[in-house]
Structure 1
Amino acid sequence: MPQSSIIPTPAGTSLKGKTCLITGANTGIGLEIARQLLALNASRVIITSRDVSKGQAAVAALRKDSEVTSKNPTAIVETFHLDLDDYRSVMKFCEQVKGEVRELDILICNGGTNIMDFQRSKTGHERVMQVNCYSHFLLILELLPLLKSTSLKRGTPSRLTIVGSGTQHYHTLSKTPLRANENVLSHWDDTNIYQGLSRYSDSKLTINAFIRRLANTVPDTEVIINNFCPGMVAGTALDAGIPIWLRAIMRVLRRFRGRTLEQAGWMAMHVVAVAGRETHGKFFQNNRVDAGPPFLQSPAGVEYIDRLWSDFLGDVIPLDTGLEVFKE
């Protein structure tokens, strides 16, 4: 069964004068998002990569792109180093942004990973949750003041989105719920409850939970916050970390059912340049607001959202005591 069709970004959509930042954008969806931002006349686009040389190669490719050179030849295109596996790298990256970027209109958290075997990140946390969730959450809180100050300067809300996934419906919290007084991050670090096939889904549920809680903290007049699922997309490196047998299956599925990178880019443009304040705190699928998993509306889901927020802050406040402002 094919995926729903996605229409191109409406003609006349313009990001002229805007500064945009995309994580994990040296290949795949992230690179295409950067290309489309430039094609919509964004004045400055910053991409991140954990490999400096690959980031530089991506910048060179963007500058040579025919649509970019014809529509936006004077745009500033840069790459900053960021390793989402490591809080220290995130903090160093954020300091660079704060020092070199005076305005930030659009922040797109795209970087992610999908692996089936339990691995620990440089922080000690389980790697998929660290890369897909915690590092992005820290980055968001650190750069939120810049998004807000830019909104005040522009007189219009800044934009923040994270790449989510409809696979969040297959999370494991219904089968292995949090125990009373159990730290959320410790739960996901527990090798006894780890399920490799579901960890990506767990991370995307956690993203949606965080976005819902963050949206209750930040007014939509300052920053419009959401997360979106690009669907199954061909031409990405997301399957590189999964077993060979599953990789072969996914290759066939993506070939015959997958959206193009261009279509995935259109979906990103929709949530950061077309959709309005009514989408604040929402999850998008097929360019429409989607209720997401029923779990997040349940008492257990509401509790998870609150405990995630509190436990995550407890994990990162030692890195920056200024984040105390987010505690209630």
Structure 2
Amino acid sequence: MVGSKDLEPSHTSFGKVFFYNQFRAKPQWPNPDATLAGKTAIVTGGNVGLGYEAALQLLGLKLARLILAVRSPDRGETAAQKMRAMFPEASIEVWQLDMCSYESVQAFAHRAENQLPHLDIALLNAGVCKFTFNIVEKTGHEETLQVNYLSTMLLAVLLLPILKSKRSRDGAPARLTIVSAALTLAAKFPERNRVPVLAAFNNPELFTIDETYNSTKLLAHMFLWKLVDFVSANDVIVNLEDPAWCKGTKLAREVTNPGLKLFAKIFGATTGRPPKVGASCFVDAMVNKGKESHGCFLMSWKIHPFAAYLYTPEGQVVMQRVWDETLDELDFAGVRAILQSMRA
């Protein structure tokens, strides 16, 4: 199988990548006979935007049980009620998950381990694009780094043994898909030469709206590159998926400048994919793609190379540093022991 690591690095300009994603790529929908009957899925950030649409598409494939992992239970319940009206046969629950809190992430994983008889799919969709620098008091980290990378990777590791042990008994591997972004291919990653790397994200002088978002998504590519050395595709297929630029995602909900907000609305209306199409990328990664997608970056329904920087000697060194720093940061949760257990 040829995965993202094995492909030649892409040096295509981001403009060309964007044009292809938005106007040329063709959706790949599940086969008519595809079914998730009897299976259980978790979708983080599933009450709005692409997470909500992806949840609907999973339910449309006869998913038996859906866990909406949301920061606000009230807003999550509003979304769940709409889903229950459309899919009365499914069990749809709302569980609280605050990605700014390590304690909340651990509590969520503990609940999944103790309350779910089965778990087959996890879509880690929750993410932020911050327009101002903000430190999460509980962790001391910049919020974009905390949500898009540190808490997401912690949740991924904590869910891996649960997915492995509780997947359905049909012999199929479980699925763990992490939402990514094509913008990783254009990330300048200004923190790359800082030691330590992760702490550099907490420096307000290095914060920018676009580069901080792009770079935190790039960190997830680095982590996945190493993570799959511990995870067999026979147990859990792990991949990253880019939905491309979509309208109606709420990602830029914090924009306050009227001119910028109007521009984003017009730009989204003229170039953005409909949420249904964007979310279909996630469903493709979790339903259509098989073991060939393990450890891969998927974009526009195809396996794509990682950012070219990761293939360079410097990129390999920085990637190892990021991996080591991440394991140190998450050591309180026993992540090293969990990863070793996945090899058993």
Shorter-chain TM-score above 0.5: yes
Q: Does 1:201 align with 2:214?
A: yes
List 4+ stretches of structure 1 deviating above 6 A: none
Q: 1:295 — aligned with what?
A: 309
SS of equivalent to 1:107? strand
SS of equivalent to 1:21? strand
Asked whether the equivalents of residues 102 and 146 of structure 1 are also in contact (C-alpha less than 8 Å), the reply is no
Shift of 1:326: 3.4
The counterpart of 2:83, out of the listed 62, 73, 80, is 62
269-278 vs 92-101, which moves further: 92-101
Q: 1:321 — aligned with what?
A: 334
Q: Does 1:240 align with 2:253?
A: yes
Shift of 1:33: 0.8
Q: Does 1:271 align with 2:318?
A: no
TM-score by length of structure 2 reads: 0.88
Q: 1:133 and 1:183 mapped to 2: Cα distance?
A: 16
Q: 1:100 and 1:136 mapped to 2: Cα distance?
A: 21
Shift of 1:325: 4.5
Q: 1:145 and 1:86 mapped to 2: Cα distance?
A: 21
Identity within the alignment, %: 28
Shift of 1:217: 1.3
Q: 2:237 and 2:56 mapped to 1: Cα distance?
A: 22
Asked whether the equivalents of residues 131 and 255 of structure 2 are also in contact (C-alpha less than 8 Å), the reply is yes
17-26 vs 3-12, which moves further: 3-12
The counterpart of 2:37, out of the listed 6, 12, 16, is 16
- Corresponding letter in the other structure for 1:129: L
TM-score by length of structure 1 reads: 0.92
- What's the CA shift string for 1:302-323, capped at 9, x where partnerless? 22322222111111212x2364
Q: 1:85 — aligned with what?
A: 100
Shift of 1:27: 0.7
SS of equivalent to 1:103? coil
The counterpart of 2:236, out of the listed 196, 203, 223, is 223
- What's the CA shift string for 1:137-195, capped at 9, x where partnerless? 1111111111111348442211011110000122233x55323xx22321222223222
Asked whether the equivalents of residues 295 and 301 of structure 1 are also in contact (C-alpha less than 8 Å), the reply is yes
Asked whether the equivalents of residues 129 and 209 of structure 2 are also in contact (C-alpha less than 8 Å), the reply is no
Q: 1:14 and 1:7 mapped to 2: Cα distance?
A: 16
Q: Does 1:114 align with 2:129?
A: yes
Q: 2:64 and 2:29 mapped to 1: Cα distance?
A: 21
- Corresponding letter in the other structure for 2:300: N
Asked whether the equivalents of residues 227 and 282 of structure 1 are also in contact (C-alpha less than 8 Å), the reply is yes
Shift of 1:246: 2.9
SS of equivalent to 1:159? strand
Aligned length: 318
Q: 1:62 and 1:213 mapped to 2: Cα distance?
A: 37
Q: Does 1:101 align with 2:92?
A: no
Unaligned runs of 5+ in 2: 1-18
- What's the CA shift string for 1:55-86, capped at 9, x where partnerless? 11111010112xx3xxxx32111110001111
SS of equivalent to 2:98? coil
- What's the CA shift string for 1:64-119, capped at 9, x where partnerless? 12xx3xxxx32111110001111111111112111211221001000011012211
> Structure with the greater relative contact order (CA < 8 A, sep ≥ 6): 1 or 2?
2
- Corresponding letter in the other structure for 1:226: N
Q: Does 1:49 align with 2:65?
A: no
Unaligned runs of 5+ in 1: none
SS of equivalent to 1:238? coil
197-206 vs 104-113, which moves further: 197-206
